[in-house]
Amino acid sequence: MPAFVSTLGSSTATSYISVAQADDYYLGSMLEANWSALTTAQKQTALMAATRNLEMLQYAGKRCTPSTNDTDAEQALQWPRSKATCRDIEAKCDMLPKEIIEATSYLALELHTTPPTVGTVESGTLGAVKRQQLGELSQEFYDVKEGSSTKVDASAPLILQKYPQLVDILGCWSDTSTGAGKVALRVRS
């Protein structure tokens, strides 16, 4: 397992946030006991898994460069960023928006509580496509489950399909298309 590194902007970072930041996020919440029951090693593993999944998304602005620990290397993760504003807060290379802290903390506990992560063979689904066929070009999709989110559709990244709450948590920091409400245009040639 890779080393747990949560240094902001580091070329070796494996987590957006530290265990202490996640502890602060859960402090006083209804889920504090669930998070506090985990060992430090379990928290670190969960935070790294959450970060890996959040790395699949696109974000507003640009990655900061160079890294904070090596001027010859790029930062390992997509955050911190610059050249983006969300709710009148400007992204800066020395800060992590509270929405990213919240998304990482939320997802870490969710992934620890209900493993495996999305998109794995063990989870039983690899996305929205259930079956494909080349001869006679057929494609079958999984059914929309009762109570499923209307925030995302089958074209959204798997992590958002499984955890649509992330759309609200990340808000305007996310540049990832959720597919919901998109208009399909056809061009005739």
Euclidean distance between CA atoms 84 and 62, whole angstroms? 8
Strands 138-141 and 89-90, sheet pairing: unpaired
Torsion sign, CA atoms 74, 80, 81, 82: negative
Q: What is the pLDDT of residue 146?
A: 45
Q: What is the pLDDT of residue 157?
A: 85
Question: What stretch of H or E contains 130?
Answer: strand 129-133
Region for 73 from its dihedrals, namely left if φ exceeds 0, alpha if ψ lies in -120 to 50, beta otherwise: beta
Q: What is the pLDDT of residue 3?
A: 97
Q: What is the pLDDT of residue 161?
A: 84
Q: What is the pLDDT of residue 156?
A: 81
Q: What is the block-wise mean pLDDT of the chain (189 residues), using blocks of 10 residues? A: 94 98 97 98 97 95 94 96 95 96 97 68 47 74 53 79 91 77 42
β-strand partners of 90: 85
Whole-prediction pTM? 0.79
Q: CB-based burial of residue 15 (10 Å sphere; 0-12 exposed, 13-18 middle, 19+ buried)?
A: buried
